Chain A
Amino acid sequence: MSAQLPPCLLWSPDDHRPLEEYQTGIPRWCVGCGDNAILAAVQRLCRDESLSPERTVFVSGIGCSSRLPHYMRAYGFHGTHGRALPIAEGVKMARPDLTVFVTTGDGDCLSIGAAHWLHALRYNMDLTVLLHDNHIYGLTKKQVSPTSPIGTRSNTTPKGSFLPPLNPLTVTLGVPNASFVAQAVDWIPEVLYQILSAAYRHKGTSFVRILQRCPEFMPGMFDPWVRDPSRTLLLRHEKALTLSPAVAATYRNQREHDPSDMNAAREIASVDDPIPVGILYHDPSAPRYEEIRNGGSVRTRETIRRGLEAELDRLTIWPEAPAAGA
């Protein structure tokens, strides 16, 4: 990709602790694929939060991005196309003690899995959802996706795509009970990391849309933004992101945004150039489905037996003269 990348792309966490504890396998993504940067940020997050690998589960659908669980030393479930969210919900309901991440692509989440996406936001279970949005179907080799800009030439739209793209942020912000909505870009790893850690710490469904470069099928797609830092709008707030001097110096186009302000969040989300980066909305008090439903509650054999007997009692026909009456 471009040689004139801003310095923050070259930034890497100071590794005083080994990341290996969270790494496994060799990622098979293309060189320059933004998924690599997302993986690195996730592994760093796990390390920094000292997540126990055996109590952490990565659930994904199908797509290039959905390969991520294979590269994490943790439990992983690489599911079916579009169904990462409901699988993850089942995991969380059964075992609220587990930390659950979901990685999904723009096709996976916004097209085939769109129904699940909307409802996952309503359930607001404690899941950290990473939407790898490369504006294209990568794994199936370049078909238009719901977020492809209008006019995108792909194998199913050789003359250019027909429809305006879907805006996952505004849609998400329109769903009642959505509790954490953020946008990150793979080429500013420090901010990506910060957003992921805020997402992880949020109790509820954290929805992080990550603009992800796909040099293979969308070469240069984000170059104008990568090259020109003024086309990124960084959101800062004491309750959200505080920017490091290096980032603040490069990305001067900033805006103070209180993530509890839904109206402002919607307004910011509706603009795609400059690209807003940061936490758009955060409501730490939104109810969580697994809590409402008492997911993972402890049952004893005795409670089950008693519950069953009570029901059977209701349905039972007793012999006319019970022994006691004799």
Chain B
Amino acid sequence: MRAYRGAAPPENPPAAPPHAPGSSSALHVPTLERPVTQPRRALRRAIDEHVVEIVSDSGEGAQRCGQSFGAIAARSGLGIWTVEIIPAEIQPPARSVAGASGNRIRIASRPVTNGGDEVDLVVAFNEQVLRGRVEAGELRPGATILLESAWSNDRDPQIAREYAETREELVAHGYRVIDIPMDAESRKIVSDPRRGKNMFALGMLCLIYGLDLRLAREQIALTFGKKDQAVIDQNVRLLEAGWAWAERELDLRYELKAMPVTAPQVVMNGNTAIALGILASGMEICAMYPITPATSASHYLTEVFERVGGIVHQAEDEIAACAFAIGASYAGKCAVTITSGPGFSLKQEGIGLAVMTEIPLVVVDVQRGGPSTGQPTKPEQGDLLAAMFGAHGDAPKVVLAVSGIEDCFYAMITARKIAETFNTVVIVLSDGSLATAQQPIPRPAFSEEWLAPPVDQSPVPEGALPYDWDATTGLIRRWIPGQPGGMHTITGVAHDRAGHIAYDATSNEDGLRHRSLKLAALQRTLRCPSVFGGDDGDLLIVGWGSTKGAIEEAVERLRAEGRRVSSLHLGFIQPLPSGVGEILRRFRKVVTVEMAWADRPEDALIDEDNRRYSPLAMLLRSRFLVDVDCWTDVSGRPMRPGAIRDAMIDRLTSV
């Protein structure tokens, strides 16, 4: 049997142990037979935060349990960040190591911006999916495991043996394994425990973390709102059974100080936020082709868009989706196309066309592991340079990266505005870790300014030219079909100010210059992001996209340890706002932190002449002539603040 990598005894104990579960409480293995009637009077242990996971075979409802738990915690005033655990296959075989489906919930007594480090407590419906998590290094040494115990006397001796062996090994590796008869207990209420255990587990978790049972009941009513009352009642009974069982049988009690919820907040994941942002931006056509992890944004948009007169068009492929969106934009309604890696590659020719013809277009790329099919369900930040340079020729376009759930929403409004103002393509980079991560954000207050202006159908002044580039800003005033007197043909072929095909040197340069100038014009309006931490110091971390929360948390920890470390997080990457270079130069060392590949200097053939830096590092080096280093992680899981902290300590000692 393979060693559990994740459970290797810690050589350096975790840096910030206050939230690690205590090893003081004895291993407690309750059994069904033990007739305990009195609730155990366990003491609640105050903690600042915990990372909780619930994993099952797919179809057993662990995701719903996790989401509900997160929502209840958020409503109780705790900071939360939830991450979906999604197996790569739709129906992986039952009890398979790679088949874990579920949710990871980080709860804290302060707002959280990322999924945190390792798991403190996990509820597992079988030991095999749990093994997958343990082997992937997801669990903190000594973590608490609430393990379904039904397998111990499974009719299949093989299964019973696997269970016993794994359980034993987990214990041997120092995990605190608690057997839970979820199956048997749920069976008292439902005939098929596979369809009810999850709410039993939810009840246990609510008890353990001191969450209000009333809120939990309400949450169930919300979750199953569309079903009939009998379903809701049954789930509430399961919830209460889980609660009561845990109260009777477990001595695990944690307490997290809640923050008063004073203003309305919305809990949603990044893809939902993108979809709502699209709705709020006034865009009305989204053309897409299904691809993980982008699709759920389109699913949700489909649900809500038609009610407000919008359309989600599932095209025959991504090329068509992009072309469709360009056609709609051309006709006056700025459209969006949503995709991930491979689909993004297919759209590149269309993106070039929109840049060349100066048609506004919003492209969302929810990045996943690449190249090729790569890791569809895992996040990566490998598309930055493809976004900037993926189309052939000089195709200047705006590239912005979203760094959190709130950003996902507002970025869509910004993207539509920029696309229409500058008549160009705006690429919004998200990634798989934001796609399914949930967080409460302040409820957006609708503003009419978010919406697109009505389609211009006013007559075009006589003699006006469609590509009458402004000498300073490169901007044109685009005409839309239907505008009298504005008839002209746009083309992806080099063209002059009249839009006529023109192969002469002057026209070509004219076009290239002005399309490029538009980025400079936009750049002049951008504010430089502020430095997180101190204005100067030993080390500056530069990041972009979804890693913001983790990076800033790492910076906080490092600064708390007395390190002079700061971070800078870029939203606009093309154009880059003014002032970035100056910030880089104020630090002794600059390191980008990215979820992308960079050659590892320790590899024998890698040296400074051939080392391939990660995308942002490459970019900053070439633009600012600063010796920017990079630290990258392509594990396929969201960035962890602890890992960043450790890596930066390494860099600091080599300063």
Contact = CB atoms under 8 A, between A and B. Distances in A.
B331 A299 contact: no
B335 A94 contact: yes
Given A69-B489, A75-B488, A319-B263, A294 B330 contact: no
A67 to B, nearest CB: 8
Contacts of B492: 62, 78-80
A264 interface: no
Contacts of A59: 327
B316 A116 contact: yes
B323 A78 contact: no
Nearest to B352: A80
B350 A78 contact: no
A87 B359 CA distance: 12
B304 A311 contact: yes
Contact of B323 (A57, A83, A306, A315): A83
Contacts of A94: 284-285, 327-329, 331-333, 335
B121 to A, nearest CB: 23
Nearest to A73: B487
Interface in B315-341: 315-317, 319-321, 323-333, 335
A74 interface: yes
Contacts of A304: 279-280, 282, 308-309, 451
Contacts of A272: none
B155 to A, nearest CB: 44
A97 B482 contact: yes
B276 A77 contact: no
Interface in A297-314: 297-299, 301, 303-312
A202 interface: no
B446 A309 contact: yes
A301 B449 CA distance: 10
Interface string A91-130: 1111101100000000000000001101100000000000
Nearest to B300: A311
B308 A299 contact: yes
B267 A57 contact: no
A93 B313 contact: yes
Contacts of A25: 500
B324 A89 contact: yes
A315 B451 contact: no
Nearest to B337: A90
A29 to B, nearest CB: 13
Nearest to A322: B264
B340 to A, nearest CB: 20
A320 interface: yes
Interface residues of A, number: 61
Contacts of B262: 319
Contacts of A90: 285, 287, 323-331, 335
Interface in B64-88: 71, 74-75
B330 A91 contact: yes
A232 B97 CA distance: 68
A108 to B, nearest CB: 13
A70 interface: yes
A312 B487 contact: no
Contact of B493 (A24, A78, A86, A318): A78
- The residue in B306, B321, B330 that gathers the most chain A C-beta atoms within 10 A of its C-beta is B330
A42 interface: no
B596 to A, nearest CB: 29
B484 interface: yes
A324 interface: no
Contacts of B485: 54
Contacts of A78: 489-493
A293 B272 CA distance: 22
Given A94-B333, A94-B335, A298-B309, A77 B319 contact: no
A119 B328 contact: no
A85 to B, nearest CB: 8
A77 B327 contact: yes
A58 interface: yes
A54 B333 CA distance: 17
A3 interface: no
A95 B482 contact: yes
B643 interface: no
B331 A95 contact: yes
A261 to B, nearest CB: 29
Contacts of B267: 315, 317
Given A307-B307, A311-B279, A58 B323 contact: no
B261 A319 contact: yes
B481 A75 contact: yes
A57 B446 contact: no
B279 A115 contact: no
A54 B487 contact: yes
A151 interface: no
Interface in B565-595: none
A91 B333 CA distance: 9
9 contacts: A24-B487, A25-B500, A59-B327, A76-B487, A293-B313, A298-B309, A304-B451, A317-B264, A319-B263
- Which 8 pairs, one residue from A and one from B, show the smallest C-beta to C-beta distance? A90-B327, A76-B489, A307-B308, A86-B323, A299-B309, A78-B491, A94-B328, A90-B328
Given A293-B313, A317-B71, 18 more contacts: A53-B487, A54-B481, A54-B484, A62-B492, A75-B481, A77-B357, A79-B492, A90-B323, A90-B331, A94-B284, A118-B316, A309-B446, A311-B276, A315-B267, A316-B264, A316-B265, A320-B260, A320-B261
